[in-house]
Amino acid sequence: MRKVYILCTLSIVFVAMLTCVAYSQTGDDLKTYKDCKYCGMDRAKFDFSRMLIEYDDGTVTPLCSIHCAAVELSNNIDKTPRSIKVGDFNTRQLIDAEKAFWVVGGSKTGVMSKRGKWAFAKEEDANAFQKSNQGQIVSFPTALKMAYEDMDEDTKMIRERRKLKRMKITEQSPAAGH
């Protein structure tokens, strides 16, 4: 009887632990890490492209996209990532970026990038997205390499967008008319 009690208790603890792990994968990171470290974008608004890098020293970096992840990985070359997670385009759940099926390019503009880079947990979801939006299905290392290749043009695009946004704000302010 005592063995049954211990077994049941261990089973309950195990199920509770699995539930906690599953909960932490369903968007809890958006409550803990609201903004992208580099651009300040709202990660909840971009939950379908957000990334979360955890290093072997225990530090965690929240990001909005693979563009900002490329910046992060370049700036922290001496740190080793323990895990790199990305939002699944369809489900918005964090998935392993290195196991994801990435669709790069096509008709859908990216987050912080002209050339879109979208992650999918399931190959069939990546194929369906590709069928509708074109692009190329690639691995994470290839998608990351493409993010590095796009960095110069994307940075220029971001600067121009922010400049135009500042100009609009200045034109709309009451002081601008006087």
pLDDT of 75-125, one tens digit each? Answer: 999 999 999 999 999 999 999 999 999 999 999 999 999 999 999 999 999
- Residue numbers of the domain that contains 123: 27-164
- pLDDT for res 69: 98
**CA atoms of 103 and 37, how far apart (whole Å):** 24
Domain assignment present for 64: yes
> How many domains does the chain contain in total?
1
Domain assignment present for 73: yes
**CA atoms of 85 and 88, how far apart (whole Å):** 9
**CA atoms of 66 and 71, how far apart (whole Å):** 9
Domain assignment present for 56: yes
Percent of the chain with pLDDT over 70: 83
Domain assignment present for 14: no
Domain assignment present for 79: yes
- With 0-12 / 13-18 / 19 or more C-beta atoms within 10 angstroms meaning exposed / middle / buried, residue 112 is buried
Domain assignment present for 17: no
Domain assignment present for 18: no
- pLDDT for res 178: 53
